[in-house]
Amino acid sequence: MAALFPPWSNRALRIALVVVGILAVSALCFPMVYVRTPFVTNEHVALDQPVAFDHRHHVLDEGIACLYCHTDAERSAYAGLPSTDVCMGCHSQVWNQSPLLEPVRQSYFSGRALAWNRVHSLAEFVYFDHSVHVARGVACEHCHGPVETMARVEKTVPLDMDFCLDCHRNPKEKLGFDAQRDFSAMRTEDGRFPAHTGHAVTELTTCSTCHR
């Protein structure tokens, strides 16, 4: 009686096993790689906005500082987008006939808000506070990238927890200042800092710094 399987089946079985192994490993690795791609992080995705606002022109040509429009960054958790009257502050005088600014004028006279597309977005359970970062000297471009070179704003960093921890773990190295030194709020009466207990978690990496 002939054998059940031909001689080439040995090789076929082994190849099949190797392929299954590779597929299994890929199935495990693929999601880990995928979540780091721009498909998920939305990095480098420039969105169309209701107004063709060009940061290059406003920042580089006109020399307008970030905080002129994003006023609240210094005092609120949210940097905020400028209200229409801020745009109109200048554009009632300059380019006041430009068709590009038609939506702005429409908004201003109708009282309906401009609906901008959010570019930099964090999960709902992350409590990021602009004001404290600005006050501690974290540059805008650290998280937002070189906005002054962008025709349409896009994300340049993933803004995931990995990214946040990168600085929160080592602000001195990453941002050039000694966070421990500067956290006067956390200091004890005699200027000591919480004793080193082997837990390298600091005020900056403790969970409720960002999650409440």
Partner 1 sequence: MAEVFELHLRRRDLGKLVAASLALSGLTACAERREKIFPYVRRPAGVVPGVATHYATSVVRDGFAVGVLAESHEGRPTKIEGNPEHPASLGAAGVFEQASVLDLYDPARVAGSRGPLGLTSRESLERELSAAFGRGAAPWLVLEPTSSPSLLRALAALRARFPRARVSFHAPLAADARYAATERLFGRPLEPQYRFERATVVLALGADFLHDMPLSLRHARDFATRRAPGPAMSRIYAAETTLTPTGTLADERIGLAPSELVRFAAAVLAELAKQGELATALPDGVKSALARGAPLGETEAAFARKVARELARARGAALVVAGPGTPESVQVLALLANAALGSVGRTLSFVEPVPSGQDGALPLAKLPDALRAGDVGALVFAGTNPVYSAPELALDELVARAQSSFCLAHVENETARACGSVLPEAHYLESWGDARAGDGTLSFVQPLIEPLRPSASALELVAGLAFGFPASTHEFVRDTERARLGLGPASADIGFDFEAEWERNVQRGFVEHSEFAAVNPTLAPERAVPLLEQALSAPSSASGFELHLACSPTLYDGRFSENAWLLELPHPLTKQSWGNAALVSSRTAAMLGRHTGDVVELTHGTRRLRAPLVILPGHADGSVTLELGFGHAVADQLSHGVGVNASVLGVPFGTVARVEVRPTSAKADLALTEDHWLLAEEAVAHELTLASYTQNPPKYEHDLAAQPSLLPSFEYAGTQWAMSIDLSLCSGCNACVVACQAENNTPVVGKDLVKNSREMYWLRIDRYLTGNPDAPRVLQQPMLCQHCEKAPCEYVCPVNATVHSTDGLNEMVYNRCIGTRFCSNNCPYKVRRFNWFDFSGARGATLLQRNPDVTVRERGVMEKCTYCVQRIRRAEILARREQRRLRPGEVVTACQQTCATGAIAFGSLDDESSEMLRRRREPRAFAAFAELGTRPRTRYLAKIRNLDGEETGS
Partner 2 sequence: MTQSAREADSALTDQLVRTVWSGSVYFRIAFAVLGLGSAGFAALMLYTFQRGIGLWGNNIPVAWAFAIVNFVFWIGIGHAGTFISAILYLLEQRWRAAVNRFSEAMTLFAVAQALLFPVLHLGRPWFAYWLIPYPDRMQVWPQVKSPLPWDFAAVFTYGTVSLLFFYLGLLPDLASTRDSAPERWRRRIYGVFALGWRGSEDAWRHYRMAYLLLAGLATPLVLSVHSIVSSDFAVGLTPGWHSTIFPPFFVAGAIFSGFAMVLSLIIPARKAFHLENVITARHVDNCAKLLLVTGLCLEYGYAVEMFVAWYSGDEFELWQFFVTRPTGPNCWAFYVMMFANVLLPQLLWSRRLRTNLKLLWVISLVVNLGMWCERFVIIVMGLEREYLRADEAAFNPTWVDWGLLAGSVCFFLFLFLGFLRWLPVVALSEVKEGRRERERTLAQAEGARG
Partner 3 sequence: MAESLIAEFGDDAALARAIDRVRELGVRELDAHTPYSTELVRDALGAPPSRLSTAVLVGGALGAAAAYGLEWYLVAHLYPLNVGGRPPHFPLGFVPIAFEMGVLFASGTAFVGALFLGRLVRLWAPVFEVPGFEHASRDTFWLTLKLEPGSANAGSVERVSAELAALGALSVRELPGGTA
| 133-136 long-range contacts, CB within 8 A, separation 24+ | 134/73, 134/74, 135/74, 136/175, 136/177, 136/179, 136/182
DSSP summary character for residue 38: H
Give me the least distance between CB of 66 and partner 3, in Å please: 33
| Residues pairing with 43 in the sheet | 155
Structure-token pair, residue 160:
């995931």
Contact 137, 182 (CB under 8 A): no
Structure-token pair, residue 90:
């200048």
Give me the least distance between CB of 167 and partner 1, in Å please: 15
Q: Which of 64, 86, 90, 138 binds partner 1 (CB under 8 A)?
A: 86
Give me the least distance between CB of 160 and partner 2, in Å please: 4
Task: Give whichever of 11 and 208 is closer to partner 1, judged by the CB atom.
Answer: 208
Q: From 158, 152, 135, select the one nearest 75 (Cα to Cα).
A: 135
- The rounded distance, in Å, linking the Cα atoms of 175 and 164 is 12
Give me the least distance between CB of 1 and partner 1, in Å please: 56
Q: Write the binding mask 167 to 186 for partner 1: x where contact by CB under 8 A, - elsewhere.
A: ---------------xxxxx
Q: Look at residue 200 and give the partner it binds from partner 3, partner 1, partner 2, none, a contact being a CB closer than 5 to 8 Å depending on partner kind.
A: partner 3
Q: Which of 72, 160, 182, 203 binds partner 2 (CB under 8 A)?
A: 160
Q: Which residues bind partner 1 (CB under 8 A)?
A: 40, 42, 47, 72, 75-78, 80-86, 107-108, 111-118, 121-129, 131-132, 135-136, 182-189, 192-195, 197, 201-203, 206-209, 211-212
